Amino acid sequence: MKVHVYFIGKTTEPYLREGEAIYAKRLKHYLPITFEVLPDIKGAGKMSPDKLKEKEGELVLSRLKNDDGLILLDEGGKQHGSVDFAYWLDKQLQKPYRRLVFLVGGAYGFPPAIYERANGKLSLSKMTFSHQMIRLFISEQLYRAMTILRGEKYHNE
């Protein structure tokens, strides 16, 4: 199964982009995975937060296929420790999805249409992080999960 990670909004900090690139390169050894920054919404600065979320949702929905599994990175989602996350990911990879898509939302979160389409929600912490930092965190956690599943030395428990 192919894995896609969609990001709404660009990362402006070079150290975060560098970290993302490191884990993206490492992950290619384990999974057919792509990371994609979705294009900015035109006129976003003039929109209300709700209108912007709606437009971002339309963009995401236009890229999804009916047989994709969509997992939202959402503060209200299920939390896992790293080992549990690895096993959860393994179960997701066994499902009959064509692609497993992780979505990191924009600054205002997701519109109702995205929540309705989602197959699951995942939270990386009870704390709130910027969407730029979450991009690095999910990249590292996906890599960690794959090393756990393969019994490789990266995660210490």
Mean pLDDT, the chain, integer = 94
Residue 17 lies in a domain: yes
Residue 49 lies in a domain: yes
In this prediction, residue 62 carries a pLDDT of 97
Range of the domain at 138: 2-149
Residue 92 lies in a domain: yes
Residue 90 lies in a domain: yes
The number of helices, as runs of H, and strands, as runs of E, in the chain is 5, 5
Would you place residue 10 in the very low, low, confident or very high pLDDT band (cuts 50, 70, 90)?
confident
For residues 78 and 92, give the distance between their C-alpha atoms in angstroms, rounded to a whole number: 14
Give yes or no for a contact between 71 and 119, defined as CB atoms under 8 angstroms apart. Answer: yes
Residue 100 lies in a domain: yes
Residue 155 lies in a domain: no
Looking at the 3D structure of the chain, how many domains does it have? 1
Residue 157 lies in a domain: no
CATH of the domain at 25: 3.40.1280.10
Residue 43 lies in a domain: yes
Would you place residue 54 in the very low, low, confident or very high pLDDT band (cuts 50, 70, 90)?
very high
Other CB atoms within 10 Å distance of the CB of residue 97: 19
Give yes or no for a contact between 77 and 123, defined as CB atoms under 8 angstroms apart. Answer: yes
- Digit-coded pLDDT (tens) for 64-123: 999 999 999 999 999 999 999 999 999 999 999 999 999 999 888 999 999 999 999 999
Residue 157 confidence (pLDDT) above 80: no
The dihedral over CA atoms of 145, 151, 156, 157, expressed in degrees to the nearest 10, equals 90
